[in-house]
Each structure stands twice: as C-alpha cells, then as structure tokens.
Amino acid sequence: MHFMLQEIQEQPMVVERILQESPRIRRLARRIRRRDPWFVVMAARGTSDNAALYGKYLFETLLGLPVSLAAPSVITLYSSRLRLQKSLVLGISQSGESLDIVEFLRAARRLGALTVAITNHERSTLARNAHEVLLCHAGEERSIAATKTYMGQLTVLAFLAATWGELGDLERELQNLPRALEEVLKRKEEIAERVSRYRYMGECIVSARGYNYATAKEAALKLKETCYVLAEALSSADLLHGPIAIVERDFPVFLFAPTGKAYGHLLELTERLVAQGAEVVVFSDAQEILKKGTVPIPVPVSVPEEVTPHVLIIPAQLFAYHLALAKGLDPDHPRGLRKITRTL
C-alpha cells in the first residue's frame, strides 16, 4: 500500500489525538480572550495555506474577527514593519521549517503580536519562535503529498475557534468527527471505480463556495501534485465572473456542494454547467444535486457546514490517489517535489 493511502486512512485517529489535547487548546483560548486581538493574520504556504483559508472563513464567520492571509514577502523581501500590536498571528507549517513562515512569525513577535505555531513538529524552528504551539498530532507523514497533516490543521483551527468563541455546538460536532470520517472512508472502493473515466484528463476546474473554497483549492493542489493535472481552483462566484466562458462540452468541473448556505447557489451552477455540456463531478451529501451531475461522488454523512471541509477532503484525496494510479504515476513521490520547501 502506498504511504498516501495509509495516511488518508489515518485521519480519524489524527482528529482523536487532537481532541485529547483539548486542555492545551483551551488554555490558549483563554489567553487569547484576555489579549482580545482586533484581527488575525495567518502565514502559510501550499497545503497549509489552504487550511488557513478555511480558518479565515471560520474566524470571520463565527467570531466576527477580520482575518488576513499574509504575504510573507512583505517582511522577508521588502522589510516592512507591519502594525501587529493588537493582532493574533498564526504561523501554519507541517514541518515548521518553511523559512519565510518562520521569519514572518519571528518578525510578528518582535512587532508585538501574540504568535502561535500550528505544526506537526514540536521542536521545529517555527515552534521555537512562537509564544504558543498547537500540534497536528499526525505522526510522521511519509508521502510528499500532505493529507493527514491538512486534516490536523483543519481540526486545530476548528477546535481553537470553538473554545475561543465558547461555541459548544461546534465543539460537540468535532467530538463526533472521527466517526463521520470513518464512514466516509468506507466508500473508498466506490471512488476508485469512478476515476478511470478521467485517466486522460489534462485540465479541469475545481470549485466550491464559502468554507469549502479551501477544499476546492486543496483538491486542485492534490490533482496537480499527484496526477500532473492542470487544475484551477475557483470560488464558484468567481467562476461565474468570467472563467465559465472556457467551459465547453466535456470540460471537467469538480464541484464540492454539501448542504448548507452555499448549496442553493451551487445547485444552480451545476444546472448551468450541465446545460453547457460540462462533465460535472459532484461531491455532496444531497441526492438532489448528485442526480444532476455527470458523475456523483456521494458523501455518506451530513454534518454542519462548518465541519464539511473535514468530511469532503477525504473523497477528494482518494480521487487524486486513485487517479494517479490509473495514470501509472507514483502518488508518494511526485516529480520535482520535496517534503520541505524552503523559500524566502
């Protein structure tokens, strides 16, 4: 078995381990409430940046705090002195060794921000330079394409939001999440059966809205990394503002459309894409929209919209994994990539 598949299947255990660390996260939440930051800045790259995008929707929607996704080069290349005294700065990195994220966090601390590292490695450089550290508890990740560390980052961000905002309903949903993920993993053979249709796919659009814009971006990244598919991730709203013009007959569009506030918009978009002759792959828990797509990928559990990115990313990861195999590729070792990327 490839490491990528093993690590996809470990994700319920990753969530369990993070939930067991709840006292640490609760202490940080209390510290943040005392500090009362005016805004949040998240610094990340790659898969971690997609997790940060989820965190942006989470903190802005549930906590009412503006969130900026940092451009690290503002500090690392242009030496700007940002006004961060009333901010919470989160540095998110699986390895904790991404040089520009480390330098951004280090500078933010000097500039008066409360800094938190979200990483899989407690002794990493990022962790050593932060006021506080929250761990992903994913264990060693041997596949180049990150899967279980992404799940860890999503879970840490969600649990931090739940405890910071004293959101009991969200916290209870996270307690139920490992069982929901196990149910999704039971459908892995179904997904494997659907990928052969796309063996020769060279390009596609991946889309969603709201919380699952992060899912669309992460799914597109996995298709690029493991399958060498030119996958463009777009908010479904942005898709309608011009790019939909490139969608012609048989053009593949992957849509993540769980029940929730974005569902009605995504249902209308699916109908329009099908009318244009697009090849629409729909990931959803709603039968209505699954029936309208070209290829349905049913999600066997329904959860509140705030935690749908945890549930939907697993079928996306499995799709990318099996498509890589169908293309004769090694999903564990994408060409030209390493586990740690160092940029300044």
CA–CA separation, 300 and 85 (whole Å):
45
List C-alpha distances in Å: 41 to 124, 132, 194, 280, 338.
20, 15, 39, 35, 27
Instruction: Give the start-to-end residue ranges of the domains of the chain.
Output: 3-182, 186-326
C-alpha of 26 from chain center: 23
pLDDT at position 21 is: 87
231, 2, 316, 341: CA torsion to nearest 10: -50
Task: Count Cα neighbours of 16 within 13 Å in the Cβ-side half-sphere.
Answer: 10
| 3-state secondary structure labels for all residues of the chain | CCHHHHHHHCHHHHHHHHHHCHHHHHHHHHHHHHHCCCEEEEEECHHHHHHHHHHHHHHHHHHCCCEEECCCHHHHCCCCCCCCCCEEEEEEECCCCCHHHHHHHHHHHHCCCEEEEEECCCCCHHHHCCCEEEECCCCCCCCCCCCHHHHHHHHHHHHHHHHHCCCHHHHHHHHHHHHHHHHHHCCHHHHHHHHHHHCCCCEEEEEECHHHHHHHHHHHHHHHHHHCCEEEEEEHHHHHCCHHHHCCCCCEEEEECCCCCCHHHHHHHHHHHHHCCCEEEEEECCHHHHHHCCEEEECCCCCCHHHHHHHHHHHHHHHHHHHHHHCCCCCCCCCCCCCCCCCC
257-284 pLDDT per residue, tens: 999 999 999 999 999 999 999 999 999 9
Please report where in the chains the tokens 């916290």 appear, as a residue: 171
Q: Is the pLDDT of residue 342 over 90?
A: no
What does the pLDDT average to over 201-205?
97
Q: Residue 224: which of 314, 132, 329 has the closest Cα?
A: 329
pLDDT tier at 338, thresholds 50, 70, 90:
low
CATH code: domain 3-182 is: 3.40.50.10490
Structural tokens at position 75: 């500090």
The pTM of this model reads 0.96
pLDDT at position 336 is: 72
Structural contact between residues 115 and 109, judged by C-beta atoms closer than 8 angstroms: yes
Same-fold call for 3-182 versus 186-326: yes
How high is the mean pLDDT of the chain?
A: 96
Please report where in the chains the tokens 């002759």 appear, as a residue: 277
Q: Is the pLDDT of residue 187 over 90?
A: yes
Q: Is the pLDDT of residue 56 over 70?
A: yes
Residues composing the chain: 344
What does the pLDDT average to over 291-301?
96
What does the pLDDT average to over 134-138?
97
Sequence-separated (6 or more) residues with CB below 8 Å from residue 195: 319, 322, 323, 326
CA–CA separation, 136 and 118 (whole Å):
7
User: Does domain 186-326 sit in CATH 3.40.1390.10?
Assistant: no
pLDDT at position 210 is: 97
pLDDT at position 335 is: 83
List C-alpha distances in Å: 84 to 44, 108, 149, 156.
17, 7, 28, 23
